[in-house]
Amino acid sequence: MGEVTWLIASNTIHYAGVPDWQKTYPKAVAFCAPGVIKRAKLVGIAVRFDGELADSAETDWADDIQQVLVRGSYLNEAVFFHKASQTLILTDLIENFEPQKIKSPFWRFMVRLFGTMDPDGSAPRDMRATFIGHRGHVRKCVETMIGWNPKRVILAHGRWYQDNAVAELKRAFRWVLK
């Protein structure tokens, strides 16, 4: 598909694999969500980044990809929208685990308890709590995502949404849109 140009640590939870990817793709430029550098240092992960993601897309990809930065008290996540394919890309803001793929009854119960079970996936309830005091900002970011009118949503965890993306966003973010 082409040369790997960028490595992205899209939120303050997903960054630990970046050093390995940097070894594999030494020419790639690495960006991270705000808070990643501090968190990596706290847990002893040595990683370097060339830049920090912001509320607007980097000039290198702004023609093709839009982005918004969802900020919370613990989790900051960059959300990307690929214009040509009309695809929204999320990391942890929606998780949608398929019950038949979870072998342990205990973990199936926990996933359901956290509100991340397909077909009603959402942000985990504990993560939602980290947005207390930031709900207005999160709502504005979700409205931006909906305004992009995506056709599909790719998720890092669980079944992605091949169609009805706007309806799925409204459903998954009802906790902040009300």
Q: CB-side exposure of 121: number of CA atoms within 13 Å?
A: 24
Q: What is the pTM of this model?
A: 0.94
Residue carrying structure tokens 């990307």: 80
Q: Check residue 92 and give its pLDDT.
A: 96
Cα–chain center distance at 28: 20
Tell me: the pLDDT tens digits for 100-150?
A: 999 999 999 999 999 999 999 999 999 999 999 999 999 999 999 999 999
Residues 66, 54 contacting (CB under 8 angstroms): no
The pLDDT value given to residue 73: 85
Q: What is the residue extent of each domain of the chain? A: 54-177
Token pair belonging to 37? 């550098």
Superfamily grouping for domain 54-177: Ribonuclease Z/Hydroxyacylglutathione hydrolase-like (3.60.15.10)
d(CA 25, CA 162): 30
Residue 135 confidence (pLDDT): 95
Which ranges of the chain have pLDDT less than 70? none
